[in-house]
Structures are given as structure tokens and as C-alpha cells.
Structure 1
């Protein structure tokens, strides 16, 4: 729970309970060789009171309660449960003794963002070291208490044991003694052998599950402060538009309305956009009065933009050279001319919304006396929110306290901080605590969208059915930005193609080009940015080429991957590609799904795809049924993942894969946003359908491969291969190719 709900800060909680119990607190420090080194308070004002730093990750009380602080935002990916499990494993504590609380933004914690499936790989090794350091100190404290060698003792079940004398001391009894010990050198701390793990790899339910299903206040939208007013914020429906005038006096006269004013905003389309704020005594009064708003807008230069217009521009550019060459190997034109078979195809996908179940919201309280502000936000990127508020409102970062609440979904949307700076700006002007709540219409029409795109592809295979040429001209979207006084076009997050994208690195003849279309539509990270659409395009087209070559789609992909164990990346951030890992997951998914062993009747089929995304190697096989009328059922999806040496929480990992598959099916089938007259047409779920529970009948088989590679995250890697696997299965079932998203644009009927 956050401070606003509990009416007591975690800072005070840790300080007061540590002082009362003489407990052991280890602070998580960064910048020391990347290890989680412990700092222990001493027993003399620094020491006996147990008054440790307020950004502690571990606290052991005299009553034996172990409190672990989760520093990353919880957006439904399960990190609030899984990362503390790593500490608990090394600490040798019983999970029943552990309490988890959400940490607020604090520089002592280091990185606190949750995006890109980075929370686990960023913290995994450090958290092992932190737990082991605490365990080592507790064992030392017990050994000194008994006057024996530490080697004669071991920790288990929240206690230290001395087998020879059959003595035992609980962690609670040892807390005060351990707090007086020096921190051991990091290199001297022995980590557990993974073979002895008791907690990691098991199924542990989410620590917030009970609170969620019983409706306890956990989310940003639940926050309440004394004297708080409720705010809405109306922005121009055309991206980049500004307020000219509004009927503020009429709005202020409405029942329950306390104030209404214009905020000029900035030119940053991902920051504080100009608009009109209304403050009222209740959310209902704020939303109701908003309907009476009469605003004159300066809609700006983009009021004539449309999706149809963008599509026409893309088609015109298709046959021309791209403005940027991302990769050029060999002579593609010559290789295509010598191909035994050449395939051409155009793939396209629309802008879509994140549509998280909890709309954007934020609560802010501005202190006019000292110019400080306190914020409660369901954010994926709290530091970015703090920075945006500081830069936009000229408030020193040190004067901005940000509490991280649980988020009702994120999928990359809450990496942006526009809703945070809006609440802060309104609170600063109003001089009272303010809770800003976006409506569903706000959320859909003022999202930072997944960018649309157009791919124009040509590929060639030789007489032996080997892929010998690949050309992709990608027409994407970009926003104009000022850098060093010059206007430049910056492609949206996930809207820029890499020269390393599969199969570019593997071919002697490859040409990857990119041309941006300028737009004012704000774009942001969307689950598995880039990969979520590129995997569909590339692995669907690879399937086209495999069938043109008369080869089994699995065999064709294995042939492209080749025999090199590692294919190096290019450029400063190019990632090496472990071919052996990908081939292994492909072969494993083929085995688990019975690939090629079953003859499907017309209207049923299997499809296969894989993708390297966010450090994860994932392959999937989909089995589908398509009725003669074109109704699609995804019967079964088999997923094999390689995300390293350890699955942290098996329950959470399975749920992440299952959720990725269902989210992938939903995204493939339904959502799209139309743009007309510079604005988003769709407003709510009646115009923007998503999969419902009654439609989620797919059987999902999840398999994890344990390898010797570093542990990584799982919020995103399983999403990208789903769409191409399903679309390739549709082709196997019907002979029809899906080259446009969403699926509803393709007639799947057959006879």
C-alpha cells in the first residue's frame, strides 16, 4: 500500500520499527562494482537503536518478521513477488515470514524503472549477493553468541542452527547482534548452489493477490488525501493543438466545481500538452462538468492528417529508394534476378492503443510554502516522471517526492510521464491536493501509441530452395524534434528498424531501407517494442518464401540460422545472437507440438515462428481451425522459452507466457485506430474491441529450457512469435495469407 492510503510513510515505518526492535537493516547501495553490498547501522545512535536508512531493502525485526522492500514498479508482471524471492532464497527464510512493501522513488535504490523486461536481469545477481550477505552476518552473529566457528553453523527456515549442539537461534533473536557486525567483503560471501534452491523455481502466488481480489486500495486510482479535489484535463483532439479560449466562468458556476483554468503547456507532445483543467468535489462532478466545456482550439498544421493519407504516401514511396539504408550486403538486385523463385509482398499494421485496464491517473500535493510537491503515481518510470516535473515546472528534483503505486497494467504506456506532469501542474496552480483521472476516451485518444508501419518486401530462393536475397523497404513514422537548434525527425519508439533484424545478419545479399513519414502523433513503447510487429512481418514472409521453395517451414528456418554458434551484432549496441539457443528452442517446440507428425484436414493447420526479443529466445507453434465461413479458432499454442539458467517464480513465469499468448491473439485479431482530420476516431471499447474472457479458450502449453546463460525477464519475449505462428497456421489451413493487421481485414472463408 502507498503512504496516502496507510496515512503513514514507509520512511517512518522503517525508522520507527527498526528503532523499536533493534532490528537488522541492510541498505541497497549502487555503484560498487555492480554488487548489492550491505551497509549496516551501528549500535550507538548509529547502532543499538537499529535506526537504519529509509531506503533499506531488508529489515529483520526482533519478532522474526522479515520485511523486504520491492523497489521496481509492479504493473502486473509479478516483479513485486519474484525479486524478493531471490533475496529470500539466499537469506534462507521461510516465505511465510516475509512481508513485502513497495519502495518509493529513491536514488539509493539505483534503477527503478520497469520496462523492456529488464527488472530481473538488472537485479538478479545483486539480489543474490544482498541476501547472501545478510545470511552470512546472521550466521556470524550466532557463531559469536555460541563461541563456535561459523563453519559449524548453517542457516535454514529463518534461523541459524548448530547441529553439533542442536542449538538454534531465530533471525529475530540475532537481529540486534548482527547489526553490530562489520559487513563482510563481497567476494568472501558464498552464494548458494542453485541445486539447493528451495524457493526459486517453485510456484508462489502474487503477494498482492488477496488484496486485489478483495478490492483493497493498492492502485494509483485508489489514492485519497485529506482535502483532495478531483481533476479532469481536456486536451485538443488534434495532436499539437492549443487552447484559444474556453467558457471557464460557466464551468466554475456548475454544481460541485471548485475551479477551472487553462494550462498553456509546452511543445513537447509527450509532456505537458496544453489544455483546460477542471477541479471539483467529486470525480462525477468533474466528469459531468467537462461535458459543458466549450473550447475554441487552434488545431495547428496536422488537422488534415489521416491514416488513409499516410497509407497513400507509403504506397507512393514503396518503389523508391529508402531515405536511410540500414543494411546493405552483397548485390540484392542481382541475386533476385538470378533467383529460381522470387516473392513480393506488402505488409501493414495500424496505430494501436495500450488500453490498460486502469486509465492514466496521478495524485499530487503541492506545498506553496517551500515549493515542494509530493506525487502518487502508477508509473513504470518514476525517475523520468520526477525529471519531467522538475524540468517543466521548475521544481528542484530534491523537492519532488514520488510514491510508486501498483499499476493496473502498463505494457509500456506508463513509461511515459505525461499524466504525472499534468497532475503536478494542476496541483501547483490549484495549491490543493489534486487527483487527476483520465477517462477511457482520454486514455485511447491521447495515448502514446504503438506506431503503424508499412513493409514492402522482396525475397528470392535458389534452385535448391535456399534463401539468397532479402529486401525490405520499411515506411515508418517519426516526430519532428529540435536538437541543437535544428529540426530533426525522430522515429517513434519501436518504429525504427535495426540492420540486425532477422534474417539480415545471415544473408550474403540483404538490403534494409527505411523512410519516415512525419506526423504529430505521440508514439511510445508498446509491449515488446518493435519486435511485436517485426516478428509478424518477417516470419510471415519467411513462411511465404519457404512455401515458394517447396520446403518445410521449420527446416527452412533452421537452414537460414546456419551452423555458426554466435552471429555478432553490428553497431554500438548490437547484440550477439546465440544461434545454438534459437535452434534448440525451435527443435524443442517442434518436438513438443508434434510438428509435421499429424495430417490436418482442410480448415486446420499448424504454423511455426520464433523470435529473439529482450534477451529471450522463444519459439511457438500454433494450431488453428478456420471454418468455411472464415471464423478463426486458435486451438492450441505450444511455447518453448530459453530465458537463462533459472526460472525465478514458476507460477509468475507461466502466467507471463500465457498472458503474452492471449494478448498476442487479441492484438492480432481486433485492435486498430483510425486517424481522420488529425485525431483518433475510436473512443472506447465499443469501437476498440479486445479479447474477452469467454473467447480465451486456447490451450497453451508452456515449456522452459534451463541453460547456462544469464537469467533474463519474461514480460515481453513470448509475445512477438504468436502472431506469425497463427498467421502461418491460417495459411496452412486455408491457403490464405494475412498481410494486414488486424485480422478482421482478411477474408478467411474457404470452400
Structure 2
């Protein structure tokens, strides 16, 4: 957004609207002055002379629709027509705009009230300005379409005609402003297309990869293929002499994947030249102590550890040993899942300019403020000397919560001060320099009594960690379902070492745990002579709250039952005609990120072992309000497609001698359009605050698919990805 000096009064209003703990930013978006120039009513709203309204979208846009959704909340309470609205991305400035993160499906629950209060407070100021102008009681004024009306006299005034006066009024405490009754919503709850879609269709520059400016140099960066290796020597002078090469720079790292590994950067006026020269590098790396890590080694160690006592106990309830001793039947099974890469269509990239002690960054980041801190530490500059411009991201899925590309671009640019540098990862770089979803192994056992009830449940979870703690995204909650619903339960955990950096992948933890727990519970249900929905309803019992994650909302069993009943009704579960041979339906449920989702998959499996999903039914409960229905459905459908891809597309990451072996989409594939099934989405609206839905629809589809394959073939899927060899015959 344009950088215009913000007046002190406007700044104070911004302070009130975003929580009070703000500091003045010298380059604040959405500011303005009276007259023909736009007028800022607060940090998010600018009103132009033609009565158009510019609203700032504060969170990173990674395809989840937040650049449209958050301004919808503001526009609704401001009481303007959507046709009047123009949306601009703000820069990163949490002290001004509040939290700016794309992750954890938190955009709606965190901003549902604050962004509505932004609009409502601005509307209140405009009403006060009109009341003063006309000498009337504000209670007698109404607003609609960016116009204030005095109903008794018929007088009207556009917001543009009142903006300067409104901006001069004393700030209003947003906690005291009245919000609309949801029954009066005209924008919230309507389907509005993404604001960037016309530009995307036209191929206009929006993404980090599109950044261009005079004098820009392109950088290709080589790092050790073994994670954590350090630079020793190489043919740098030889590469410096290659045509078109401007610089060859050694980057000394701090050994931290999140910020800086050692590397050698080649700079040129085109990325093609830089990358070709990068390929001519002949570098020597010190990888001592790092080459012993491998996929086969992890599997062998996990197998050896599985039968031993867990390193630590996560949860224990009741008398587990007695439950198993008295069981009429015991079900046992081992499950596993691989490391996964994120596979964003836009590879990681960042443009940086270091000049006169200041740093300016253009980045497709999901979480800019930690990046600011890392850059400040790496370059030795104060955080306030760094400006981060957030570009649109061509996919994130959690990968861009890490800001390694930002730190690396800044570190390279710092060696050519005054010259903007764009760092771009090649696809192979992107696959081999990821922060991977960690793999894991589970040994389950379930005790079933003579009445078919689940009376005991155990899991020995083998994951990755060090110093007794799981590494990033490798954790399992002690409250993982069916904890709280089985009287005798024990969860244990053992840790393996790895040099692979790990990170959050869409629906972190849940994307793996949903598969293993719901698939094993389907085995338990079959052994007990039940279907999984029946077993789930039996375990959930009467509506009540169950602990879920520390410092997080509880799992409400009534809401869980609501989506289970809904999806079973949608698909006609148990009521349809017998399916033909090789065809089956499976069920899965999961609660994560405050969202409740139940899903049923219809799959056909050929004699050759090809599994083709025909249809997926999805029922979701994300509270009382769907802000943008068309985008909500898109998000759920995207989650389902992504989950099916993890299961069927062979996306497993393998490691040999400390390095990842995959190179590109040919050996780390993602789903293609022809593989996408029909996906039907319906909502269970409940009287709960709205929650996010970018992630919680993903976990149930993987076990639903695995359980559908069992229904079709009688074969259990206990490891991913699913291959034709598993299913053939």
C-alpha cells in the first residue's frame, strides 16, 4: 500500500483498534490527509473523494482467501457495498496491524471480532461526524452503502464528505462499539470471489517470484546436500569467470536450518545464467557425523525399538494390564507414515535490498515477524530497520512459516549493498531443502470385552526428537482420541535422532495421527462387529468436553456426533444397495484447529491395484458463521485433494547418507486434475464462535480412504503411501 505519513490522531485510533501496545511506524500504510487525498479513519480504512473505500488486508495470502475474507469483516460493519471496496495488502507491522500469520487456521477465530470492530468503530466516527454537522442525535442516523442518512429529515451524506471530520474526532474504544446482529449481515455469509483472481487469470505480477526492479540481480544458492554440512573449499574463482556471472559469494552460516546453513551464491542478471553457473560449482563439504541418517536406518531402528518399553509415558488411565487380561478379544496392528515435503507450486524465493543500514524485503512468507528477528540477528541490524513487504504466496501449506529463504536472501544482499537481490530456489532445491513433515511408527493394541465394548487401548509411538523432547511437528498429545473415552489407556513414546529439519505441514500432527488412529479404530470396530461411525458414537457418548491440546479448546463430543450423523446421512451410510466387487466406502472423523469434520470416501480398486476415488462426502462444523461460502468450500475441497495426494501420489521423502534423494514432481508427485473426485461439502451450523477451516478437513480423508480400500478389498492399509503392489490381486 502507499506509504503516506500518518497523522498522530490516526495513529492513536489505530492503537486502540489493534490492542493498545503499538509503536509508531514511520512508513504506515493506509494513511492520508483531508481534501482530495484519501482520508484514513484508522490503520485499515482509507476513504477516497469518490467514496470508494480502500481496506487493508493484514494477513499473508497463501491461497486460503484471507485477503478477501478479513476485509469482508471490516466492510460488513463499516456498512458499505462490496462494489465500493478496494483491497490492498499491508506490509508486515504487527505493532500496527496486530498478528499477521497464515497458519493454524487462526485467521477467522483471531480476527472475527477485532476486524469487525475496526469497521464498526470507523462507522461510528462517521455517524458522529454527520450528527455534529446536522446538529442531530446520532441515534436517529442510519447507514448503508457508504452513506449516512437522517431518516427524520431525509438528509444524506456520503462517507467521503464526512471522512475529514470523522478523522478529527476523539478515538473510540472498540470494545464499546455495537456490532451488527448476524441477521443483518449483507456481506458476511455471501460468496465473494477472490480479490486477486482477475489479476491471476491475467498473469499479472502478484507473487514473490514476480518481483522485479531496476538493477536487480538473481541469486542461485548451493548448500550441502547433507543437512548441516559446512563449506570447505571449491572452484569459486573459476565460476566467477563464467559469462554473465557478477558475483560468487560464500555465506557462512550458524548451523541452523531456520536461518543459515553454509552456502555459495552465484549472482547474475538472469536466474538462468546464475543457475547454470551454480551447476558448474565443484564444492567440498564437511559432513562428518551427518551421513549416517537414512530412511532404511530409521525403519530398522524403529522396528527394534517397537517391542521394547517406551522411552517415556505420555498418558495412562485405569488398569490397562487388567483390561487386556480380561479381554474377550485383542486387536493388534503396527502403522507407519513417511516424511513428506510441502510441494508448493511456487518455489521458495525472496528479494532483499540492504542499503544504508536498512533492509527491505519482498517475501511470500506465512509468518513475517520471526523472519524479521532472524534477519536482524544474521545481519546485526535492529528489527525496526527492516521492512517486510508481503507478496502473495503460490501455496504455503506450512512451508512458509519458516523464513530460511528470507534470511539467506538478506545475507546475500548484505554482501552487495545497494543492489536488490532475488533468491529463487530451483524445484530440486525446494524438494531437498524443505522442513519436512516427520515420519512415525505406532504399535497399537485394543482390548474388547464380551459385549463388544472397547475397554483397553495402547499405543507405542516412535517419533523423532532429542534430549527427551520431540522435534518440531513430531509431537502427539496425551489426549489424542480415544483418550477420555476408553477407561483403560496408555500412550508411550520413543525418540529417534535425525538430521532432517522438520516443520508444520497442513494440519500438523493431525495429518498423520488421523490416519493411524482412525484406521486402527476401524479395525477395532470390525472386530467388535460394528461400523466405525457406530463405534465412534458409542465412545463419544453424551455431549461433553474432552481435553484435547494444552491451552486449546476442548473436543465437544456433541459437536463430533453432529458431523458424524450429518455425513452418514449425506452418503446414505448403511442404507444403499450393495456395492459391486472392488468398490467400497470408508469413514473417518477428526477434530483439529477447532474444526469438526467427518468424511466418507467411495473408492474403486482394480485388479491391477489402481485405487480411484469416485466421491467424497464431507460434513464440517466450524461454528455459527461461514464468512465466505464459496471460499470455504474451496478450502475444504483443497484439503481433501491434498490429503488424497499424501495417500495415493507417492509423495514419501526418502533419505540416503544424510541427504534427501527426491528431485522434482516426477518422484515427489502431487495430485493432478484428472485424479480429483467429486467432493460434496455440507455444514453443521452450531452456536459457537466461528473457527478456521484451512486445515481441519484434511485429516479425516486419509483414514476414510484406507478404510474404504479395506471395505473394497479386505486389505488393510497400515503404511503410506498406498501403492499398486499393496492392492493388486
Question: TM-score, normalization: structure 2?
Answer: 0.95
1:212 corresponds in structure 2 to 200
Per the alignment, in what secondary structure is the counterpart of residue 14 of structure 2?
strand
Q: CA deviation at 1:144?
A: 2.5
Aligned partner of residue 84 in structure 1, secondary structure: helix
Deviations 1:165-218 (A, max 9, x none): 333211111112212222334354211110111111111000000001111111
TM-score (norm 1): 0.92
* Aligned residue number for residue 689 of structure 1: 669
Q: Which residue of 2 aligns with 1:338?
A: 326
> Match of 2:390?
404
Matched, 1:555 2:542: no
Other-structure match for 1:470: 457
Q: Does 1:58 align with 2:36?
A: no
Query: Of 674, 678, 691, which aligns to 2:658?
Result: 678
SS of aligned partner of 2:316: strand
Matches within 5 A, 1:412-427: 412-427=398-413
Instruction: State which of 668, 685, 692 in structure 2 corresponds to 1:713.
Output: 692
Q: Deviations over 1:545-571 (max 9, x none)?
A: 00011112211110111224222357x
Aligned to 2:381: 395
1:269 deviation in Å?
A: 2.5
1:617-672 deviation per Cα after TM superposition (whole angstroms, max 9, x unaligned): 11111111112222211111111111111111111101000111111111111211
1:292 to 272, 280, 287: 280
Alignment of 1:9-88 (within 5 A): 10-12=2-4, 27=14, 29=16, 32=19, 56-88=43-75
Confirm or deny: 8 A CA contact 2:623 2:686 kept in the other structure: yes
Q: 2:127 aligns with which of 111, 118, 139?
A: 139
Confirm whether residue 98 of structure 1 aligns to residue 90 of structure 2.
Answer: no
Q: Measure how far apart 1:489 and its partner are.
A: 5.2
The two structures, once aligned, show a CA RMSD in angstroms of 2.3
Structure 2 CA distance for aligned equivalents of residues 517 and 473 of structure 1: 13
Judge conservation of contact 1:11–1:54 (CA < 8 Å) in 2.
no
Please list the CA deviations of residues 379-398 of structure 1 after superposition, one character each: whole Å capped at 9, or x if unmatched.
00100100111122211101
Q: How many Å separate the matches in 2 of 1:254 and 1:633? A: 50
Shift in Å at residue 150 of structure 1?
A: 1.7
Aligned to 1:328, the other structure's residue is in SS state: strand
Q: Is the 8 A contact 1:23 1:61 kept in 2?
A: no
Structure 2 CA distance, aligned partners of 1:55 and 1:200?
21
Deviations 1:4-42 (A, max 9, x none): xxxxx6223x76xx99xx99996264664899xxxxx9x
Asked if residue 89 in structure 1 is aligned to residue 69 in structure 2, the reply is no
- Shift in alpha-carbon separation, 1:681–1:128, aligned structure 2, 3 A: same
Q: Which residues in structure 2 correspond to 1:585-734 (within 5 Å)?
A: 585-598=563-576, 599-670=578-649, 671-696=651-676, 698-734=677-713
Q: Which moved more, 1:671-680 or 1:140-149?
A: 140-149
Q: Distance in 2 between matches of 1:396 and 1:500?
A: 42
Query: Is contact 2:608–2:724 with CA below 8 Å preserved after alignment?
Result: no
2:100 aligned with 1:112:
yes
Q: CA–CA distance in 2 between the matches of 1:745 and 1:335?
A: 38
Contact 1:75–1:407 (CA<8 Å) still a contact in 2?
A: yes
Name the SS for the 1:543 alignment partner: helix
Structure 1 SS opposite 2:339: coil
Q: 1:56 to 1:30 in 2, by over 3 A?
A: closer
Corresponding residue number in structure 2 for 1:441: 428
> What are the superposed Cα offsets for residues 573-594 of structure 1, whole Å, 9 maximum, x if unpaired?
2542211111111111111111
Instruction: Return 306-315 or 454-463, whichever deviates more.
Output: 454-463
Are the counterparts in 1 of residues 434 and 501 from structure 2 also a CA contact under 8 Å?
A: yes
Give yes or no for the alignment of 1:573 onto 2:570: no
Q: Distance in 2 between matches of 1:523 and 1:47?
A: 51
Aligned pairs (5 A) from 1:363-382: 363-367=351-355, 369=356, 371-382=357-368
Do the aligned partners of residues 48 and 689 (structure 1) sit closer, same or farther apart at CA in structure 2, a change above 3 Å counting? Answer: closer
Alpha-carbon distance between aligned partners in 2 of 1:176 and 1:454, rounded to the nearest angstrom? 63
Tell me the SS of whatever aligns to 2:344: coil
Cα distance change, pair 536–28 in 1 and its aligned pair in 2 (3 A): farther
| Aligned counterpart, 1:485 | none
Aligned counterparts of 2:501 and 2:439: Cα–Cα separation in 1: 12
SS in 2 for 1:342: strand
Q: CA deviation at 1:98?
A: 0.5
1:24–1:59 contact (8 Å) kept in structure 2 = no
Q: How many residues align?
A: 717
Of residues 474, 491, 496, the one that matches 1:512 is 491
Displacement after TM superposition at 1:143 (Å) = 2.5
Query: 1:216-248 deviations in whole A, cap 9, x for unaligned?
Result: 111011111221111011010011111110111
| In 1, Cα distance between equivalents of 2:187 and 2:138 | 24
Q: Please name the residue that 1:176 is paired with.
A: 164
1:348 to 318, 336, 341: 336
After TM superposition, give the deviation of residue 464 of structure 1 in Å. 1.2
**The one of 176, 180, 198 aligned to 2:186:** 198
Structure 2 CA distance for partners of 1:467 and 1:312, relative to 1, 3 Å: same
Q: Cα distance, 1:746 vs. partner?
A: 5.2
**Per-residue Cα deviation, 1:590-610 (whole angstroms, up to 9, x for no partner):** 111111001222211211111
Structure 1 unmatched ranges of 5 or more: 1-8, 36-40, 481-487
| Equivalent residue number for residue 25 of structure 2 | none
**Deviating more after overlay: 105-114 vs 358-367:** 105-114
Please give the per-residue CA displacement for 1:506-558, whole angstroms capped at 9, x wherever unaligned.
Answer: 22111111111011100000000000010000000000000011112211110
CA distance in 1, matches of 2:389, 2:21: 25
1:503 pairs, out of 482, 486, 498, with: 482
> Compared with structure 1, are the counterparts of its residues 288 and 498 closer, same or farther at alpha carbon in structure 2 (3 Å cutoff)?
same
Secondary structure at 1:743 match in 2:
coil
Return the offset for 1:46: 9.0
Question: How far apart are the structure 1 equivalents of 2:156 and 2:38?
Answer: 26
| In the alignment, structure 1 residue 126 sits paired with structure 2 residue 114 | yes
1-side partners of 2:397 and 2:379: how far apart? Answer: 27
Tell me the distance in 2 between the aligned counterparts of 1:511 and 1:32.
43
Measured in 2, the distance between the counterparts of 1:316 and 1:23 equals 64
- Contact 2:562–2:684 (8 Å) recurs in 1: no
Query: Once the two structures are superposed, what CA deviation does each residue of 1:385-419 show, in whole Å capped at 9, x if it has no partner?
Result: 00111122211101111111110000000000111
Shift of 1:300: 2.4
SS for the counterpart of 2:400 is helix
Displacement of 1:146 in angstroms is: 2.5
User: Could you tell me how far 1:159 is from its partner in structure 2?
Assistant: 0.8
Structure 2, unaligned runs of 5 or more: 23-27
Task: Say whether the 8 Å CA contact 2:57–2:88 is kept in structure 1.
Answer: yes
Q: Indicate if the aligned counterparts of 1:460 and 1:470 stay in contact, CA closer than 8 A.
A: yes
Answer whether contact 1:220 1:362 (CA < 8 A) is retained.
Answer: yes
Question: Which of 281, 304, 316 is the matching residue for 2:304?
Answer: 316
Is the partner of 1:747 in helix, strand or coil? Answer: helix
